[in-house]
Amino acid sequence: MSLQTEQRQHIDTLIQLSEGRETGLGACREVIRRSWARCVDEYRLDPSRPRPVRVLTQQALRDHQESVDDLLHVARAGVDQLHAQVARLGYVLLLTDHRGITVEFRGQRHRDRALRKAGLYLGADWDERYAGTCAVGTCIHDTRAITCHHGEHFDATHINLTCTAAPITDPQGNVIAVLDISALESPRSHESQNFGLSLVTLYARMIEDAYFMHRYRDCLILRYDTAREFVHLNGRGLIAIEEDGTLIAANGSGRALIGEHLHRWPPWSPDRMPSITQLFDGEISDVLGILSACGDQIRAFRARASDATCFVTLIEPRGRRVAARALPASPAPVPALDRLASDDPAMHRVLKLARRLRNEEVSVLITGETGTGKEVLARALHDSGTRASGPFVAVNCAAIPESLIESELFGYLPGAFTGGRRHGMRGLIQQADGGTLFLDEIGDMPLPLQSRLLRVLAEREVMPLGAETPVKVDIRVITATHRDMSRMIGDGHFREDLYYRLNGAQLRLPALRERADRHFVIRSVYEALVAEREQATRLRADAMSALLAYGWPGNIRQLKNALGFALATVEGDEITVHDLPEECLVDAPPATLTLAQQGDEAVDDDGQVLHELLQQARWNISQVARRLGVSRPTVYRRMQRHGLVPPNRRG
Ligand SMILES: Nc1ncnc2c1ncn2[C@@H]1O[C@H](COP(=O)(O)OP(=O)(O)OP(=O)(O)O)[C@@H](O)[C@H]1O
């Protein structure tokens, strides 16, 4: 079809539209349809009268250029880079101001005349009000990136063009410029321009960010991304702040985060913005501390509104160091605690509190899913405190049969009961004298013993079975549980007064899948295993990627088992993805494995699943524990709850 025929048809369609008849508009995109309606109803453009291209005089052009001088200066490098990429594909590049006037242009010298005729030229006016629907004008109106391809242009003069434009906005979200690539000839299909749309959008954002950095160069700028590797290179969010954390301005991603925050917690006065420490879960000293940190100067924070982990770096104001007094002194190293985490916001909080608690006598309750390292943390607290030279006695209340807990904990005198040792036994509480008693799975402590434990804690003395006088004990108690203790108290399974005595301070360990420092945890568990086995085996990157992607329902214990399995079965000197247990190779853990993830309470409905797992494993409890990533006692306890008895013990 000739261009003239196409233009005539195009004009007919638009005339039908202007007369309120919508024939032939079925396939038209909504964004274009709305713009056409604006051209007819608002701007009173006549589709039957194509308009000549309007190019500004030199003087008028200079005025427009001057008004965006600062931006042009910053944008030039981006404009040149983008042009270098698209020129050989037949595109020219336009940068317009917010009114659609082309203030910067990169063309093709040999096609100068044709380009000028098409309006692809310095000084050309692409305002929607004059030029009709077009990439630049419609992009300015809608503040969004758009391709205007062939017949989507309103004016018949432009229907041989393909144009793709993306807005560049200021920190308030107002369009200050538009980046556009256009071609005189292009394939028919609209999809052929999709790649161009992504490319122009990317460069528009880079220019926008470069301009933001330039404009707020005298402020502290926080740069963040959800991928650690990209923060320095291309961190998505930019937020300029005062040294006290007050927000000054943000780029598009930063504004989206602030918007999300204000949506959840609206301000009580219209001009009240959240400070950076409300936006991210941390204190201003944690943020400023990034500047004095060693290593890559990136720190993870949790964005409160979305709960996403963001990796943050800080850029100092140009030519000025942030006042030394504002920079917090780094905390004194506490190796036993420091080695438990690298850069995870939740672990930062846990370890910060643990540092404060390590030399205190206050009882600590550690909560978290099974296998998150509650016992490891308890031991680190002990090792880093004033009781380090005393004993650390760990008791798993779920693993000791109920009938033996009392004698194990409190001890007994000779002849206190039949079946006891001839010389009696010093109970575990006494064994912890001068050190720490760690009571794991405290929720499994039988009710009658809870009262006795309460007495030990209140009076600091223990009464062994068969004894007449109590024995003084000097212990610090740390307890742990993965259960919902308030529910247990509500159900009458746990004494409230004991709970308050044990819960002097609470440390909640995050699940492995929630941790931003998973890479560090995998590395350190792996290195510990390799050192223990004296095995010089390397963990290859493909295996690491699979481990990072997995959901870890059984947390660090399951991770340790998986790595232990790989080390035991690997044939060469490096572990690849193929050496990992099969269940770690899926994106989401299989349904049966989510058993471990839930508290024991949730498992009540899941006896069937546990039964199936046991049958599959031929009642090998260790194997089921490994699959679920829980300890053997946990499996036994769950079996007991569901009345599951191994075939060889039946009858
Ligand atoms: N930071 C760590 N580095 C290396 N190994 C760890 C770490 N944390 C935990 N582990 C290992 O993971 C396993 C589970 O840890 P731990 O027993 O402390 O978890 P837990 O939360 O007490 O589990 P449960 O709730 O089943 O009692 C242990 O083998 C422990 O050695």
Q: Are residue 425 and residue 489 in the same domain, yes or no? A: yes
CA 318 to CA 332: how far, in whole Å? 30
More confident residue, 444 or 583: 444
Choose the residue to mutate in 338, 343, 375 for probing ligand 1, maximizing ligand atoms within 8 Å of C-beta: 375
- pLDDT at residue 454 above 80? yes
Predicted confidence band at 283 (pLDDT cuts at 50, 70, 90)? confident
- 54: CA distance to ligand 1 center in Å? 72
Residue 76 CA to ligand 1 center (angstroms) comes to 54
- Over residues 205-222, mean pLDDT: 94
Cβ neighbourhood burial of 559 (10 Å; 0-12, 13-18, 19+): buried
d(CA 190, CA 421) in angstroms, rounded, equals 87
Domain membership flag for residue 50: no
The atom number, within ligand 1, closest to the CA of 377 reads 18
How would residue 625 be classed by pLDDT, with cut points 50, 70 and 90?
A: confident
Does the pLDDT of residue 592 top 70, yes or no? no
In percent, how much of the chain has pLDDT > 70?
93
Residue 230 lies inside a defined structural domain of this protein: yes
Nearest to 314 by CA among 261, 206, 235: 235
Domain membership of residue 389 (yes or no) is yes
* Interval between CA 629 and ligand 1 midpoint (Å): 11
* Residue nearest atom 9 of ligand 1, based on CA coordinates: 373
Least trusted range by pLDDT, from 244-253, 296-305, 416-425, 438-447: 416-425
Q: Which atom of ligand 1 is nearest to the CA of 340?
A: 1
CA of 377 from ligand 1 middle (Å) equals: 8
Q: Do 374 and 254 fall within a single domain?
A: no
Same domain, 463 and 402: yes
Protein residue closest via CA to atom 16 of ligand 1: 373
Whether 104 and 192 share a structural domain: yes
Give me the pLDDT at residue 614, please.
86
- Residue 366 confidence (pLDDT) above 90: yes
Q: Are residues 495 and 596 in the same domain?
A: no
Q: Which residues contact 214 (CB under 8 A, 6 or more apart)?
A: 70, 74
Residue 377, in any domain of the structure: yes
Whole domain around residue 604: which residue ranges? 592-651
Residue 602, pLDDT score = 39
Range of weakest confidence among 120-129, 251-260, 343-352: 343-352
Q: Ligand 1 pocket, 525 CB below 6 A?
A: yes
How remote is the CA of residue 3 from the centroid of ligand 1, in Å?
Answer: 73
Please say whether the beta carbons of 37 and 16 come within 8 A: no
Between 153 and 265, the higher pLDDT residue:
153
Q: Which residue has the higher pLDDT, 103 or 604?
A: 103
Measured by CA distance, the residue closest to atom 25 of ligand 1 is: 370
Q: Is 607's pLDDT higher than 90?
A: no
Most confident of the ranges 198-212, 339-353, 566-580:
198-212
Q: How confident is the model at residue 480 (pLDDT cuts 50, 70, 90)?
A: very high
Three-state secondary structure call for residue 312:
strand
**Domain match, 482 and 396 both:** yes
28-33 average pLDDT score? 88
Give yes or no for residue 158 CB within 6 A of ligand 1.
Answer: no
Residues 423 and 416 sit within 8 Å (Cβ to Cβ): no
CA of 559, closest atom in ligand 1: 12
pLDDT band at 466 (very low <50, low <70, confident <90, very high): confident
pLDDT at residue 493, as a whole number:
92
> Above 90 in pLDDT, residue 26?
no
pLDDT of amino acid 502: 95
pLDDT for the residue numbered 636? 78
Which residues are CB-contacts of 366 (< 8 A; sequence separation ≥ 6)? Answer: 374, 377, 378, 478, 479, 480, 481, 506, 507, 508, 509
Q: Which amino acid is at 161?
A: L
Place of tokens 């599959």: 616
Q: Is 374 in the pocket of ligand 1 (CB under 6 A)?
A: yes
Task: Classify strands 175-183 and 425-426 as parallel, antiparallel or unpaired.
Answer: unpaired
If one compares 521 and 632, the residue with the highest pLDDT of the two is 521
CB of 524 within 6 A of ligand 1: the answer is yes
Q: Is the pLDDT of residue 67 over 80?
A: yes
The lowest-confidence range among 71-80, 81-90, 215-224, 460-469 is 460-469
Q: Which two tokens stand for residue 599?
A: 């508290």
Same domain, 370 and 441: yes
Atom from ligand 1 closest to the CA of residue 339: 1
- Rounded Cα gap, residues 594 and 274, in angstroms: 38
Least confident of 174-188, 262-276, 297-311, 593-607: 593-607
From 463, 481, 508, the end of a domain falls on 508
Check pocket membership of 529 for ligand 1, CB cut-off 6 A. Answer: no
Mutate which of 370, 376, 521 for ligand 1 pocket (most atoms within 8 A of beta carbon): 376
Same structural domain, 321 and 358: no
Do 352 and 481 reside in the same domain of the chain?
A: yes
Question: Mutation test of ligand 1: which of 347, 484, 556 has the most ligand atoms closer than 8 Å to its C-beta?
Answer: 556
Over range 351-362, report the average pLDDT: 93
364 Cα–ligand 1 center, Å = 17
Q: How far is the CA of 375 from the centre of ligand 1 (A)?
A: 6
Ligand 1 atom index nearest CA of 370: 25
- For residues 343 and 489, membership in a common domain is answered with yes
User: What is the Å distance from ligand 1's center to 66 Cα?
Assistant: 64
pLDDT value, residue 560:
95
CA of 380 to the centre of ligand 1 (A): 12
**End-of-domain residue from the set 474, 508, 542:** 508
Instruction: Return the structure tokens found at 276.
Output: 């950076």
* Lowest mean pLDDT, pick from 119-123, 207-211, 440-444, 588-592: 588-592
At residue 594 the predicted structure's pLDDT band, cuts being 50, 70 and 90, is very low
Q: Measured from the CA of 440, which atom of ligand 1 is nearest?
A: 27
Structural domain includes residue 457: yes
pLDDT at residue number 416: 66
CA 376 to ligand 1: nearest atom = 18
**DSSP labels, 431-488:** HTTTSEEEEETGGGS-HHHHHHHHHHHHHSEE--BT-SS-EE---EEEEEESS-HHHH
State the pLDDT at residue 57: 94
Q: What is the per-residue pLDDT across 308-331, written as a single tens digit (0 to 9) for each?
A: 889 999 999 887 766 554 555 667
pLDDT at res. 590: 40
User: What residues have CB less than 8 Å from 82, skipping those under 6 apart?
Assistant: 93, 179, 181, 199, 200, 203
How far is the C-alpha of 325 from the C-alpha of 248, rounded, in Å?
A: 21
Q: Is the CB–ligand 1 distance for residue 515 below 6 Å? A: no
Atom of ligand 1 nearest to the CA of 634: 26
Closest ligand 1 atom, residue 378 Cα: 18
- pLDDT confidence tier of residue 225, bands split at 50, 70 and 90: very high
Within a domain: residue 464?
yes
Contact 545, 520 (CB under 8 A): no
Judge whether 527 lies within some domain: no
User: Which amino acid residue places its CA nearest to atom 12 of ligand 1?
Assistant: 557
- Distance, CA of 105 to chain centre: 40
pTM: 0.67
- Decide if pLDDT at 100 tops 90: yes
Q: Is 510 in the pocket of ligand 1 (CB under 6 A)?
A: no
- Domain endpoint, select from 176, 204, 232: 204
Mean pLDDT of the chain: 88
557 ligand 1 Cβ < 6 A: yes
Q: Is 302 a pocket residue for ligand 1 (Cβ < 6 Å)? A: no
Find the CATH number of the domain harbouring 398: 3.40.50.300
In whole angstroms, what is the distance from residue 220 CA to residue 288 CA? Answer: 10
Residue 278 pLDDT: 92
SS3 call for 534? coil
Q: Tell me what pLDDT residue 642 has.
A: 75
Q: How far is CA 94 from the centre of its chain?
A: 37
Is 150 or 266 the better-scoring residue by pLDDT?
Answer: 150
Q: Is the CB of 556 under 6 A from ligand 1?
A: yes
Measure 634 CA to ligand 1 centroid, in angstroms: 14
Distance CA(426)–CA(518), nearest Å, equals 41
Residue nearest to ligand 1 atom 5, measured at CA: 525
- Residue of 560, 563, 603, 636 with the most ligand 1 atoms within 8 Å of its CB, for mutation: 560
Kindly state the average pLDDT of the residues 249-267.
Answer: 91
Question: Tell me, what's the pLDDT at 323?
Answer: 59
Give the atom of ligand 1 at the shortest distance from the alpha carbon of 525.
4
pLDDT beyond 80 at 486: yes
Mean pLDDT of 461-486: 92
Our answer on whether the CB atom of 150 is closer than 6 Å to any ligand 1 atom is: no
Domain count, the chain: 4
Checking DSSP bridges between strand 364-367 and strand 476-481, what pairing results, if any?
parallel
Closest residue by Cα to atom 15, ligand 1, is 373
What was the pLDDT predicted at 326?
A: 56
| Residue found by looking up tokens 């590797």 in the block | 229
Tens of pLDDT, residues 367-409: 999 999 999 999 999 999 999 999 999 999 888 877 788 888 9
In a domain, 568, yes or no: no
Prediction ipTM score? 0.98
Same domain, 392 and 296: no
pLDDT value, residue 258:
93
Residues 494 and 400 both lie in one domain = yes
On the question of pLDDT at 593 being above 50, the answer is no
Q: Is the CB of 235 under 6 A from ligand 1?
A: no
